[in-house]
């Protein structure tokens, strides 16, 4: 009987446990599957924590989630094809739910497939190494399940890394940071926009975090938000109170100086400068090293570590597709473990990766990125029995969504989309996003 | 030739390098001494960083230092007996200097003894293990000296742990934290009191951090500071704007409820709830596990790991004495390595530890704590050639200082003390601490 370790019980890890369980329900011997989760509960980033910095065990806090986060893409683009939103909520709900609603949905499927029994909570994997002689992995494990810290090692035939890549911030330094009279934080440590009510904020970045935290902060009372970009502005039609300026040069006290010569006095600085793929617990020889992009090298089908195919990584791509892509990947990883998906030789795997990387090098626009990842998911779907959904519809949703954001950055979350699984069209929300301050599930689902 | 690893280049690590260098200058073969420092510069906590949470490598930020920190004890109580303040500053300076002045002093001695050559910066020790067969330690080391991360292992005969114990916060949770609309931080992440100007602060704790951060915050403009204690109030004569209340029970939105039934609306919460002794890089069998107290168990003379005397820990005690105690410990550690200080058998070491613990169990007051640690340092001083200083004077300084704080919590830093090394009495500061907002070295030293 094989032993498989899954590291992390967030969306990827839960997708993996669910995938194994589907096979087991079909009568397949899936061996022993053990999932290690260092947090006390499941859901990964979607398991909100008020903590920042280090957790109660002195470990880096995994969470980057903040209060008042609404999905920034249509929920129909991330729907589980074997567990549609209609099934979970008993009917249609609007297309852009807040965090608690998506958490409820992720956890709902995990409860239905009864996978909690496979998870060891409060348990961190400290080291993963591979023994060539025995062809097994040794995991050094620290656990606090008894209240106190305890250590042990276990051996596994397969290891599936599902620890995400939006937990370890990339934190640049600018001249004057050391004497700035106010808070400087990375978006990883952003928790509650109310903290910045009445304050003048400076945000560095030009991707999703910068966009969303700027809007959140203004919505919850910031006096002004200045967004500094390095290469190009996001260029949305910002509401009054948000402005984009060229790159920050330096700070002099609380005065920020920008590349166009303009200056601005600010009270706090939020670095929306992205995340690192960071796996300090994996032996360097087995460790994925990549920037955040749509096709990290070294992973066959974006999942299998070609240098040692008993090691797999889930969800390491930059993402348009999320939960459904994780599912498609998890079914691939499962079928590799089960021997249902025979892997070609190393040269063939490397050639496949090279072909994808070659195509990726040609991608020049957001629309081409959407097409690229759509084709990647389409390829994954040919490999397993993960239930089909209308991929072309999802692709079109992403295109429409990008246009909606250009039309109205404060209004795009009021739009409705059709489900690629059931066809159900999400109803309009009872309150427009810009006017809705209550992000609770109860409020969102109220008719 | 023996090889000795020193982990950390803060006050303890620098004291250790200095101690070895003093012997080398006397013509002694000290073997090879290598110090590993994960930060890019020396000084440990005294090397201020604006960063919080995780550093540029994704590692926990070591620093707990904040802007506008003035020494909270007389500098005469921490003076290096072989490098007095008079020597460094060329004359007398006031007794309570701000951070930059103490940093300059620490680094000044390290420069004089030319120990920077022994330090590998940007280099973290990931694992320390001991091989019974070879009687050596293996250190797994990660270094970014080339810009990229690289890994190697090295073996050493001795390991001296000097990584401090004020870096990994102890962070309790209270009901309502998850929905508190504002910032919640541990004092480890406190950097600049100006952030809280105009805000109503809640501070949890009743030790040095709570006391100092409450005062700092009010001094730099906080609207009010409420300090909640669990066992007993600090009871100082607080200035208007600071009040102590019994333990926090829960939060309801921004309303804090206390054990005496009182309530208070607050904008931010600072947890001054202490630190953990945390050594995840040391094999569990070699790892010191202790609360923060004046005599951690398992350390002969408070330094030597009795279970394996080739491993030593510096500065792991709770502290009245600081830099001078670290020096006295570092000379002991050095002389163990050099074979000058023969260690008794394990039973004798254990009996010595037990005798100190027995005495410590009887300590019932702050004054007895001061006497206890004075006697501990006095014992250390008998073991090596660390230059003598007037320990009885330092003891009396601590007693006077405690009374000064009771007399005026905002005024005690304006007092002057005599040096136990030179007899020099610090002049009065040109500006009283409560009115001085500029914490720079240049300002402090201005005549």
- pLDDT digits 0-9 by tens, B202-228: 999 999 999 999 999 999 999 999 999
Domain count, chain B: 2
Which of B184, B195, B267 has its CB closest to that of A183? B195
Question: Do residues B253 and B200 share a domain?
Answer: yes
pLDDT for the residue B147:
85
Which chain B residues touch A178 with a CB distance below 8 Å? Answer: 48-50
Boundary (domain end) residue, out of A247, A271, A295: A271
Tell which residue, B183, B197, B187, B180, has the closest CA to residue B257: B180
The pLDDT-based confidence of A148 (bands split at 50, 70, 90) is: confident
- Which conformational region is residue A114 in: left (phi greater than 0), alpha (psi within -120 to 50 degrees), or beta? left
Q: Which residues of chain A lie closer than 8 angstroms to B39, CB-CB?
A: none
* Contact present, A95 and A416 (Cβ < 8 Å): yes
pLDDT tens digits, A97-123: 999 999 999 999 999 999 999 999 999
The 10s digit of each residue's pLDDT in B412-437 is 999 999 999 999 998 999 999 999 99
**Domain membership flag for residue B79:** yes
| All residues at 6 or more sequence positions from B355 whose CB lies less than 8 Å from its CB, including other chains | none
Question: What does the pLDDT look like over B6-41, one tens digit per residue?
Answer: 999 999 999 999 999 999 999 999 999 999 999 999
Burial of B446 (C-beta count, 10 Å sphere; 0-12/13-18/19+):
exposed
Q: Residue A400: pLDDT band by 50, 70, 90 thresholds?
A: very high
| Residue B443, in any domain of the structure | no
Q: How far apart are CA A35 and CA B297, in angstroms?
A: 36
Q: What is the pLDDT of residue A259?
A: 98
Task: Identify any residues that bridge with B193 across adjacent strands, giving them in sequence order.
Answer: none
Indicate the burial class of A253 (C-beta count within 10 angstroms; 0-12, 13-18, 19 or more).
exposed
Domain boundary, last residue among B271, B286, B301: B271
CATH for B249: 3.50.50.60
Distance (Å) from the C-alpha of residue B184 to the closest C-alpha of chain A?
8
Of B181, B276, B280, the CB nearest to A192: B181
- Report the percent of chain A where pLDDT is more than 70: 100
Chain B interface includes A151 (CB < 8 A): yes
**What is the pTM for the complete model shown?**
0.96
Q: Do residues B167 and B158 make contact, with C-beta atoms less than 8 angstroms apart? A: no
- Burial of residue B213 (number of CB atoms within 10 Å: 0-12, 13-18, 19+): buried
Within 8 A of A188 by CB-CB distance, chain B residues are 53-54
Distance CA A142, CA A123 (A): 6
Does residue A446 form part of some domain? no
Q: Are residues B97 and B205 in the same domain?
A: no
- Judging contacts by C-beta atoms under 8 Å, the chain B residues touching residue A276 are 58
pLDDT for residue B447: 78
Distance between start and end Cα atoms, chain B: 50
Contact check, Cβ <8 Å, A185/B51: no
Is A183 an interface residue toward B (CB < 8 Å)? yes
Same domain (yes/no): A303, A196: no
What share of chain A in percent tops pLDDT 90? 98
Are residues A184 and A154 part of one domain?
no
- What is the C-alpha to C-alpha distance for residues A280 and A381, in angstroms, rounded to an integer? 31
In the predicted structure, residue A305 carries a pLDDT above the cut 90: yes
User: What is the distance between the alpha carbons of residues A391 and A79, in angstroms, rounded to a whole number?
Assistant: 11
Cβ atoms of A236 and A409 within 8 Å: the answer is: yes
> Is A58–B278 a contact, with Cβ atoms under 8 angstroms apart?
yes
| pLDDT given for residue A396 in this prediction | 98
Is residue A431, in this structure, part of any structural domain at all? no
B183: nearest CA partner in chain A:
A195
Asked if B242 and B206 touch (Cβ cutoff 8 Å), the reply is no
Contacting residues for B271 by C-beta, under 8 A, at least 6 apart: B169, B171, B172, B184, B185, B186, B187, B204, B205
Same domain, A40 and A151: yes
How is A159-173 classified by DSSP, letter by letter?
EEE---SSSEE----
- Select the residue of B171, B178, B284 nearest A56 (Cβ to Cβ): B171
Q: Are residues A254 and A328 in the same domain?
A: no
User: What one-character DSSP code corresponds to residue A315?
Assistant: S
Note whether residue B389 is domain-resident.
Answer: yes
User: Which residues, given as ranges, of chain B have pLDDT below 50?
Assistant: none
Structure tokens that stand for B395 in this block: 């003891």
Same domain, B155 and B210: no
> Does residue B219 contact residue B192 with C-beta atoms inside 8 Å?
no
Residues A77 and A155 in one domain: yes
Q: What is the DSSP string of B122-172?
A: SEEEEEEEEETTTTEEEEEEEE-TTSS-EEEEEEESEEEE---SSSEE---
Residue B268 touches chain A, beta carbons under 8 Å: yes
Kindly state whether residues A143 and A209 are assigned to the same domain: no
Q: Does A290 touch chain B (CB under 8 A)?
A: no
Full domain range(s) for residue B226: 177-271
- As a whole number of angstroms, the distance between CA B405 and CA A374 comes to 68
B280 is a domain residue: yes
Residue A415 counted as domain residue: no
**Burial zone of A243 (CB within 10 Å; 0-12 exposed, 13-18 middle, 19+ buried):** middle
pLDDT number for residue B167: 97
Beta carbons of B51 and A195 less than 8 Å apart: no
Min distance A113 CA to chain B CA atoms (Å): 28
| Closest CA relative to residue A116, chosen from A41, A66, A5 | A41
A49 touching chain B per CB within 8 A: yes
Q: Which of B40, B381, B16 is nearest to B164 (CA)?
A: B16
Q: Are residues B82 and B25 in the same domain?
A: yes
Of chain B, the percentage scoring pLDDT greater than 90 comes to 98
Q: Do residues B222 and B95 share a domain?
A: no
Regarding whether B328 and B370 lie in a shared domain, the answer is yes
Chain A: nearest CA to B67, how far in angstroms? 8
Element (H, E) at B378: helix B366-381
Average pLDDT over all residues of chain B: 97
In the listed set B236, B271, B306, which residue is the last one of a domain according to the structure? B271
Tokens of A298: 């070294």
pLDDT at B148: 87
Asked if B195's CB is within 8 angstroms of A276's CB, the reply is: no
Q: Residue B349: inside a domain, yes or no?
A: yes
Residue B9, classed as helix, strand or coil, is: coil
User: Is the Cβ–Cβ distance between B5 and B34 less than 8 Å?
Assistant: yes
- Residues in B closer than 8 angstroms to A186, CB to CB, are 53
User: Chain B contact for A338, CB < 8 A?
Assistant: no
Cβ under 8 Å to B: A residues 184-223: 184-186, 188-189, 191-192, 194-195
């Amino acid at each position: 009987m094989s032993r498989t370790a899954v590291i992390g019980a967030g969306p990827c890890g839960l997708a993996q446990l669910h995938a194994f369980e589907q096979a087991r329900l079909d009568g397949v011997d899936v061996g022993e599957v053990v999932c290690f989760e260092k947090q006390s509960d499941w859901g990964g980033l979607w398991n909100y924590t008020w903590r920042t910095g280090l957790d109660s065990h002195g470990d880096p806090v995994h969470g980057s989630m903040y209060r008042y986060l609404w999905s920034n893409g249509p929920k129909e683009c991330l729907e589980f094809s074997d567990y549609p939103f209609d099934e979970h909520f008993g009917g249609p709900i609007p297309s852009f739910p807040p965090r608690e609603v998506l958490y409820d949905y992720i956890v709902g499927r995990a409860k239905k497939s009864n996978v909690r029994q496979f998870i060891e909570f409060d348990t961190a994997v400290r080291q993963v190494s591979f023994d060539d002689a025995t062809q097994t992995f040794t995991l050094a494990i620290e656990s606090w399940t008894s209240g106190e810290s305890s250590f042990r090692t276990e051996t596994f035939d397969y290891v599936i890394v599902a620890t995400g890549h939006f937990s370890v911030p990339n934190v640049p330094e600018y001249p004057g940071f050391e004497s700035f009279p106010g808070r400087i934080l990375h978006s990883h440590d952003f928790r509650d926009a109310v903290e910045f009510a009445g304050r003048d904020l400076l945000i560095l970045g030009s991707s999703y975090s910068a966009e969303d935290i700027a809007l959140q902060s203004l919505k919850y009372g910031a006096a002004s938000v200045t967004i500094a970009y390095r290469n190009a502005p996001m260029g949305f039609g910002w509401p009054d109170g948000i402005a984009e300026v060229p790159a920050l040069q330096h700070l002099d006290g609380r005065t920020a100086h920008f590349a166009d010569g303009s200056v601005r006095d600010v009270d706090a600085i939020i670095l929306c400068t992205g995340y690192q793929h960071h796996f300090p617990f994996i032996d360097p020889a087995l460790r994925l090293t990549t920037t955040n992009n749509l096709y990290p090298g070294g992973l066959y089908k974006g999942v299998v570590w070609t240098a040692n195919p008993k090691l797999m990584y889930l969800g390491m791509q930059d993402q348009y597709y999320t939960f459904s892509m994780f599912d498609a990947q998890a079914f691939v990883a499962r079928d590799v473990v089960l021997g249902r998906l025979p892997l070609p030789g190393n040269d063939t795997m490397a050639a496949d990766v090279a072909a994808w990387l070659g195509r990726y090098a040609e991608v020049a626009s957001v629309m081409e990125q959407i097409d690229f990842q759509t084709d990647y998911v389409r390829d994954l779907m040919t490999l397993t029995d993960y239930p089909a959904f209308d991929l072309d519809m999802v692709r079109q949703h992403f295109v429409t969504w990008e246009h909606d954001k250009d039309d109205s950055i404060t209004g795009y979350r009021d739009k409705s989309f059709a489900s690629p699984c059931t066809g159900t069209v999400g109803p309009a929300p009872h309150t427009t996003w810009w006017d809705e301050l209550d992000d609770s599930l109860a409020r969102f689902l109220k008719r």
